[in-house]
C-alpha cells in the first residue's frame, strides 16, 4: 500500500475489465535546445534539439504497437507541444490538434531562459516547495490545479473517448501525483523522459488504472509506484 491508499501490482492489464471511462494517453513534447542545455523554458519557445525525432518516432511506434486509436489529440498551446501533437495526429489520421492553455508548462516568469543550476542556487525551494511563486510567474501548485481541473472536466465530458495529450514534464508530474494520490512536493523531481507514455483510465473524473507504455518515469524507477497500478475504489 502506498501514500493515498493505492494498491500496488493488482491491476489487470486488460482495460476492458474496468468501468467504461475516458482513456488518456499522456506524452511529453519533443526535446528542445533549451532542454538539452539545461535551461528553463516555461512558456517560451526553443527550436528542436538535433536528435528530437528519435524520441518522437519511438513514441509513435509504441502507440501503434499497442493498437491505440484516438478520438481526439490535445496539446498545450505552446509551440513545442503543438508541433509534436501535430505529428501524432497526422500519423493516426486525427483531423486536428486541440490546443489548451491549461495544459501549459509552469510559467517561470522572469526566470525563463535561466540555467536550472542557477535557479536551484538562487531559489533554494525550487522543486521543493510546490507553493513557491516564481517572479512574475506562478507556482507548481497553481499549474497543477489548472491542468488537473481541465483533465477532470474532459474525462467527465467524454467518458467513451480515447485521447492523446501532448504536454510538459511539470504538468505530467502534477497529473500523476494528483490522480494517483501521491504527495506533491516529493513528486517535483521525479524524471519524465521524452519517451514517457502515461496510460490513464478514468471512471468519471477518477483515475482507476495507470500504466506506462514507454520509458519508465521517475515515479517507477525511484520505487514510488509499481505498474500497472489500480485504484478501483477511489472517491477522490
Catalytic residues: 29, 105
C-alpha cell at 12: 489487470
Dihedral (Cα; 128, 134, 138, 142), 10-degree rounding: 20
Map residue 209 onto helix, strand or coil: strand
Please provide the distance, in angstroms rounded to a whole number, between the alpha carbons at the two ends of the chain: 17
Q: Is residue 178 within a helix (H) or strand (E), and if so which, with residue range? A: helix 169-179
Q: What DSSP line would sit under 118-159, residue for residue?
A: HHHHH-TTTTT-TTPPPTTS--HHHHHHHHHHHHHHHHHH-T
Query: Are the beta carbons of 2 and 8 closer than 8 angstroms?
Result: yes
- Look at the block and give the residue holding cell 486536428: 96
| CA distance to 154, 179, 213, per residue, from 16 (Å) | 20, 20, 17
Amino acid at each position: 500500500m502506498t501514500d493515498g491508499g493505492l494498491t500496488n501490482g493488482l491491476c489487470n492489464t486488460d482495460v476492458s475489465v474496468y468501468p467504461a471511462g475516458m482513456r488518456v494517453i499522456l506524452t511529453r513534447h519533443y526535446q528542445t535546445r533549451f532542454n538539452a542545455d539545461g535551461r528553463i523554458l516555461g512558456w517560451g519557445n526553443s527550436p528542436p534539439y538535433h536528435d528530437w525525432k528519435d524520441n518522437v518516432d519511438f513514441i509513435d511506434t509504441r502507440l501503434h504497437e499497442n493498437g491505440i486509436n484516438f478520438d481526439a489529440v490535445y496539446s498545450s498551446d505552446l509551440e513545442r507541444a503543438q508541433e509534436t501533437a501535430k505529428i501524432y495526429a497526422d500519423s493516426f489520421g486525427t483531423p486536428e490538434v486541440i490546443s489548451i492553455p491549461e495544459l501549459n508548462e509552469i510559467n517561470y516568469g522572469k526566470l525563463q531562459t535561466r540555467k536550472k543550476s542557477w535557479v536551484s542556487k538562487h531559489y533554494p525551494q525550487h522543486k521543493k516547495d510546490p507553493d513557491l511563486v516564481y517572479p512574475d510567474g506562478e507556482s507548481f501548485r497553481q499549474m497543477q490545479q489548472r491542468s488537473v481541473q481541465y483533465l477532470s472536466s474532459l474525462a467527465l465530458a467524454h467518458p467513451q473517448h480515447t485521447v492523446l495529450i501532448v504536454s510538459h514534464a511539470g504538468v505530467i508530474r502534477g497529473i500523476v501525483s494528483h490522480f494517483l494520490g501521491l504527495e506533491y512536493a516529493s513528486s517535483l523531481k521525479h524524471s519524465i523522459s521524452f519517451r514517457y507514455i502515461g496510460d490513464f483510465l478514468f471512471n468519471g473524473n477518477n483515475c482507476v488504472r495507470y500504466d506506462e507504455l514507454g520509458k519508465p518515469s521517475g515515479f517507477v524507477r525511484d520505487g514510488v509506484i509499481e505498474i500497472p497500478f489500480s485504484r478501483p475504489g477511489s472517491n477522490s
